[in-house]
Amino acid sequence: MSHLIFVYGTLKQGFRNHHINHGERLPGVFHTVAALPLYVVGPNHLPWLVNAPGQGEPVAGELYRVDDAGLARMDELEQIERPDWYLRQPLQVRGEDGRVWDCEVYFGAASRLQLDPVHLGPVPAYTQEHAALRERALAAG
């Protein structure tokens, strides 16, 4: 079975955890249909998309077609079984051609915003500059 997964952080092409993502990338950049808050949080500067429609702005990311094994790898990375971490949920995104896609995304638990420092956000996209902050934090820790 295949799954459409919207990625907005370290699972994107060119980012730290892309090697976990064995999915087939659909061409183009996709944006969430709903405005959503994307933060950079915690000691490791993690990208953290919160399921709070109407806050923030449409978030940019990539869309992948992922098989069951690939989804299991992503679920493990995102620690979906742990409270206060990520949860995979439905989402709608819009492609560059205007088409709306039903997919899933890893939302971060809103409670994490009270547990960890919020460094940035809401932001419209997780960028290489944000990833560099993460790499510096990991190297220092």
Q: Choosing from 76, 78, 104, 135, which is the catalytic residue?
A: 78
Does residue 83 contact residue 109 with C-beta atoms inside 8 Å? yes
Closest to 93 in 3D by CA, of 3, 9, 7, 1: 7
- Report the run of H or E that residue 35 belongs to, with start and end: none
Task: Establish how many alpha carbons lie within 13 A of residue 66's alpha carbon, considering only the half-sphere containing its beta carbon.
Answer: 24
Q: Does the annotation mark 135 as catalytic?
A: no
Task: For tokens 């490791």, name the residue.
Answer: 44
According to DSSP, the β-strands at 2-7 and 100-108 are parallel
d(CA 42, CA 84): 12
Does residue 104 contact residue 88 with C-beta atoms inside 8 Å? yes
Catalytically active residues are 78
